[in-house]
Amino acid sequence: MTKKRAIFLDRDGVINKKAKEHDYIKNWGEFEFLPHIKDVISQLNKKFLVVVVSNQRGVSRGLMTLNDVHSIHVNMQTELKKSNAIIDSIYVCPHGIKEKCACRKPEPGMIFQAARELNIDLSNSYMIGDSLTDIEAGKKAGCKTILLADANLARETKPDFAARSMLDVLHFIN
């Protein structure tokens, strides 16, 4: 069976607007899509599986539950489908930093799990994120990496590509 190519997306800061520093998106009312993301995901769907890999430490901190996160994702997928934008699968790490689990980015556990479950060729896939931990996880998994951030952070993290927005990402992906 031929392996599939995938685009791994971080959620907060890539699909939706990030919460304020030291806060979390705890419910659907706090979730706000970033500009053009629905169109970009729809374009990506033509060539790739689209998989979300998201650290959700607010669960381990007791600020929200896994059910809250699941509810946000159900609503997110419903809204995206209205624009023919499909998230093929979502992986969440609810653990805190001190728990040292294999799924919390910068560890590649969620990416490896998706690769096993969805038959993904990691060397022909991309990890797109807005932080050092996203890029590290993608590199550890053997993916190409794209950082959504300013040039200073790109110099520090050394992604394969740096983009100002998800719309720009379409120029790097083939």
d(C-alpha 53, C-alpha 141), whole Å: 12
Does 146 fall in a domain? Answer: yes
Does 66 fall in a domain? Answer: yes
4, 122 contact by CB (below 8 A): no
Does 21 fall in a domain? Answer: yes
Task: Quote the tokens at residue 124.
Answer: 């022909």
7, 173 contact by CB (below 8 A): yes
14-28, 76-90, 94-108, 140-154, range with the lowest pLDDT: 140-154
Residue range 116-169, pLDDT digits in tens: 999 999 999 999 999 999 999 999 999 999 999 866 666 777 899 999 899 999
Does 78 fall in a domain? Answer: yes
3-state helix, strand, coil in the chain (%, to 5): 35, 20, 45
Active site residue 12: yes
Does 1 fall in a domain? Answer: no
Mean pLDDT of the chain: 94
How many domains are contained in the chain? 1
Amino acid at 56: Q
Backbone angles phi, psi at 38, to 5 degrees: -65, -45
Q: CATH number of the domain that 51 lies in?
A: 3.40.50.1000
d(C-alpha 107, C-alpha 103), whole Å: 6
Local structure of 120: helix, strand or coil: strand
Exactly one of 10, 88, 121, 150 is catalytic; name it.
Answer: 10
Does 147 fall in a domain? Answer: yes
Does 174 fall in a domain? Answer: no
Does 25 fall in a domain? Answer: yes
Range of the domain at 87: 6-169
Task: Quote the tokens at residue 71.
Answer: 């509810």
Active site residue 10: yes
Candidates 86, 91, 75; CA nearest to 38 is 86
Residue range 23-82, pLDDT digits in tens: 999 999 999 999 999 999 999 999 999 999 999 999 999 999 999 999 999 999 999 999
